[in-house]
Amino acid sequence: MKKENKNLFIAGIILGLGLVGAIDGIVFHQLLQWHHMILSPNIRLEIFTDGLFTALFSAKLIWGAVKIFQDARKNELGDSWRIFLGGIFIGGGSFNLVEGIVDHHILQVHRVKPMADNPLMYDLTFLAIGLLLVIIGVMIKRLEPNA
């Protein structure tokens, strides 16, 4: 892959991580109020950790935008929408997979919907969506003739 396309792909991954993090935080933490980053009887701790989570995905969105700007200024940024979208999907799916495996299963700091009749179903669906996003991203990227 040419350097310009690699830069675009990496920026897409970074933006995908931030974008799906934002969707997770907005939808599951705020709108649906299914969980917080750390489930605790201490609401202040829950809100604080959600704030840290928001800062983290916001930083990724800023990082991705800055990377695009810097690479474009150096004329080292590709122009393939397939490579860019593939990176976004792969980054977003990777967010779900890593966050789901680490937070839901290994550390067990929260579940997707802990009060559900079957919380494991929600956790596994979260992982399946992540895997599906990665597969879609790989398929989109592979459609690029020079990828």
pLDDT digits (tens, 9 = 90+) for 56-96: 999 999 999 999 999 999 999 999 999 999 999 999 999 99
Interatomic CA distance for residues 66 and 70, integer angstroms: 6
Domain boundaries, the chain: 3-142
Distance CA 64, CA 45 (A): 29
For helices 119-142 and 81-99, the axis angle rounded to 10 degrees is 160
CA–CA separation, 54 vs 106, rounded Å? 21
Q: How far apart are CA 114 and CA 39, in angstroms?
A: 9
Diameter over CA atoms, the chain: 54
Q: Confidence band (pLDDT; 50, 70, 90) for 51?
A: very high
- N- to C-terminal Cα separation, the chain: 5
DSSP one-letter code for 29: I
Predicted model pTM: 0.94
Share of the chain above pLDDT 90, in %: 95
Q: Would you give the distance in Å from CA 37 to the centre of its chain?
A: 15
Q: Give, as one character, the DSSP assignment of residue 74.
A: T
What pLDDT does 117 receive?
A: 96
Spell out the alpha helix ranges (H) of 1-147.
Answer: 3-24, 43-73, 81-99, 119-142
